[in-house]
Structure 1
Amino acid sequence: MKIFNLIKILVSIFFLLVIPISCEKENQVIEKKTDNTAEVRRLTIIGDAYFDKSEFSNALQIYEKVITISDSVKNRVDYVDALISIALIQEFKGNYLESEAIATKVLPHLKYLKKPRFAWETYKIFVENYLATNDYDNALIYAKKAYNLKTSARRKTNALANIALVYMRQKHYKKAIKIYKKLTTYGYYGNKKKTNTFKDFELQDYAIMKDNIGICYANLGDSRALQYYQEALKIRLELNDVSNLSHSYSGISQFYLKSNLTLAKKYAEIAYKYSCKINAYSQKKNALKILINSSRRNELKKYSKIYIQFTDSINKIQLTQKEQSANIKYNFKKDKDENLELKNEKAEHELEMQRQKNRSYISYVVISISVISLVFIVLYITKKGKRDRANEVFKNEMRISEKLQFELEKDIDMILSFSKNSNLEKEENKEQFLTHLNNIYSKTRNISRENSEILTDENFKKVLKEMISGYTTSNLNIMINGLSTFSWVKIDRVKKITVFRVVQEIFDQTKMFNNSSLVSITFKEDEKNIIITYADNSTEIQNQNNLNKRFANIENRLKLVKGIFNVSLNQNQGFKVLIKFPL
């Protein structure tokens, strides 16, 4: 039994050792790769065609398929070319971590590739990725590595242009301009320009250098920037260089940002359109920044929201990358800070909008209260005016009644007594009776005229003259001067009424208290004022204080029209009055 068990154990060990080996051999036979060289070549041509047309999404799918099916040794050229192209596409999308990780995979293959273009392209990707993450020291190292390669004059020139680009990002604008101008005026591109033998891809590089000169001048505050931006744009439009048109429009937009917001916004919108077309991260981000700076109100809110969503999505992609490389040092702080700043700006903008709404609500409340108050005041003033007018009518009636009683009471008593005690059949008594009646009529007419409505139309001058002339008697002569020397039509109605009542009251005082035989009243227009002077030849000696009291009512009337009143006493010559009020 023990022997039988020992045999079972030995057989089991045999099967455990032999069967896996046979399976492994079988798997090795199954896993033998087929030769996909022809398919790799075909897909590479298709991928390159998409890449040249800036259809990066389609190109990326093709290149990833090339990586999957190609042999990294047998198809090394196409394999490395696909890696470089994918790294460039990821760079365009702003996936700098992914771009550099893929470019790092190219490094072990460079020693097996005789053509230096692969090393040059790889170093160029590192330069651009380090520039994008503000690592200028490493960017300069790889730019110089590319320049030191034994490669074509064009690539050597472009490597030197990348060194200038690093200087530009380091804000050494004059150093950068010096290199770019040298490259575009002399050397490789200078000769191309003179002979006009540019190829399309060379013109693209030439336009980039022109555009960068414009950027340097713009940062130096030099207006020559616009000239270089426009030169680069013209070349890119002729080439239909979709991948770089956004750069040109962004530069021109940035140039107009301080002087013409409308133009800045117009070019920024075009830049954003082209950046979306090729889905290039840095170009889209730059265009959105300019759109935010050139927009107001709702559009500012719209583009801020797009920018935040865009940078958030890119940051998530970058933060979820797991591939690592010794030379990969990325810091997303700048984007986060910019994002946070924009979120703060958005919050501040929304807060300001809310404040504006609150101010609007407060304004509506204040306006409503003001309107209600105004309506109340108008109603109150209207009601008070009616009440005051009623009171004024009552006062006028009382005053007229008192005046009638004061002026006519004695005359009526006298005429009643006369008619009672005299024989009216006699001619002399009849004439005397009629004279008394005429006196009563005259006094009644004068009182009526004094309290009647004053015409202030074109007949005012005539009415005023008639009123003054009405005080003329057999013992009193009145001289009226200057009444027709200016137009009364242009004078305000209230001022006309004031003149009428003031003059009337002066003559009432003359009639009641003076023994004047001659009165002079003069009307004169002096600049923007009306001046009225009155003088009489009364021989009665007046007291100045009493005189002031007698004319106090006139002074109060004149205050309503901002007028000046002055009365002075002339010994043995009556008094003088000066009235002055603005037109």
Structure 2
Amino acid sequence: MRIKKSFLFFCLYFACFTTAFNQKIFAQKVADSSLYYYNLVVNPKKSTDLTLAFSFYEKSKKQHELAGDTLKVINDLRFMASIQKKLGFLYDSESTSIEALDILNTAKTDDNVIKSKIGVYNHLGMIQREYSNYDEALKFYNKSLQLATKTADSLTILNNIANIYLDQNKFNLAIAELSTVYKNSLRLQDKKQIARALNNLGSVQARINAPEALSNMLEALRIREQIKDNIGMYSSYKHVSRYYQDKNKTATALNYANKAYNVAKSINSANYVNDALSQLIDLDKNPKVVEYKRLSDSLTQARRLGENKFASVKYESSENIRKAQESELKFKTSQLEKEKEERLKLLYMSIVGLVTILAAATYFVLKSRHKKEKLLQVYHTETRISKKVHDEVANDIYHLMTKIQSNNTIQETVLDDLEHIYSKTRDISKESSLIDFNNNFKDTLEDLFLAYQTNDLSIVTNGLHTINWETVSDLKKTAVFRVLQELLTNMKKHSKASITVLKFQKNNAYLEINYNDNGIGTTLKKHNGLQNAENRIVSLNGTITFDSEVNKGFKVKITI
């Protein structure tokens, strides 16, 4: 039993160890594969190296797309574009670079994204140079230069810009750029960069017959041979060959051209081999060969321009779509911000409006309450004074009249005067006496009218019974009672009327009372009685109008 357990433990341990070891081996293989194919791209030795590397990076790109690793997808695309350029497929290389740039434009900006953009813009600039589209090449180089922060990156881009100036025959500008590049390369002690700067500087100097041109190119070649930079050696052989060709030293030019061809063969790049053969053909003085070369170059240039135009349209279309999407996003964001501001503004305005309404409502409620309290105070004051006049003044006068009547020496006229004073105080007390709201207010008004009616005066009412007095506040009832009392008192004292008509009606929320008598009328002049009546109605936000002429009666309209 113990042996079985030991055996099972050993199997489990062996399985775990094997799995971990295999994972480590797999990871190592992936790393080794990446390094292997990277070397095939940088320094191809067989004719199949570049195509094998392209197949690897194409499969790698698909795997990274499935994994959602954007940066690695971009890295794969950059290697694919570089391979396509080395194989001479400029249009495909440009399309692949544009695909990488489209992804970069949508990625979140960081150091890796910026580094990749520098490389892609620089690569597109080199392709545009191959197309002889120099303005576009400069545009891409300048974009790359704006993003570059490392000196090495800047020197590479400046070197490429100088090549454009050389192609445009702007020799002084090219020499200025390359001199800067050479000085900074010496400071970095980068032999590859130094050789490139010297070679390009010598090529430009050769165009203006500068004496140091050849020595600079040969020094560059010596450095490249020393560090075994095949691609750099090819460039040096080609430039030296052209130098001797311009000096009409054909044999020496052919020697360097053949060396360039041999290096191109070792690089295993169709593009380099084709370029080397083109240089050899240039050195052949056969008219037919010259004519063939001219036609071949024209056709190649036309094909490249066509491809470039299509690729540029594709890039511009992609760029325009991206910009349109960015503009649309900015517009939508702006609209959302604007709507948010409008909503906040509306909210603030609503709050201010609500506060204003509440403040106004509170003011009017307080004002109305104050007015109501004031009216009640006036009413209670009138009632108190009425009671005091009745209880004290009128009663005292009545007792005095009783005593005087028992005294025969008092003249009759004195008794009449006292009786007149007693009647007046009783009337004052009655006019300001307490109004009973517990009974039906219609009956209270009818009692009021009946008190003023005599054999010589008829008081007629119309619509009194149609009014629902329960819906009318006590303050309004008080005002109606006092005003009508004032009008009837005024009529009895002054108008000599025989008929008085009172019409009551409800007009929506308002109560209308029309008073009309057939008395002698008067020239309107508000005295205390009429002024008090008006003040009572106005205090309740109502209106009262008086209309009268001599011998045409007296009219009043009350709205409350």
Bin for the TM-score computed over the shorter chain: 0.3 to 0.5
Larger radius of gyration: 2
TM-score (norm 1): 0.43
TM-score (norm 2): 0.45
The structure with the greater share of residues assigned to helix is: 2
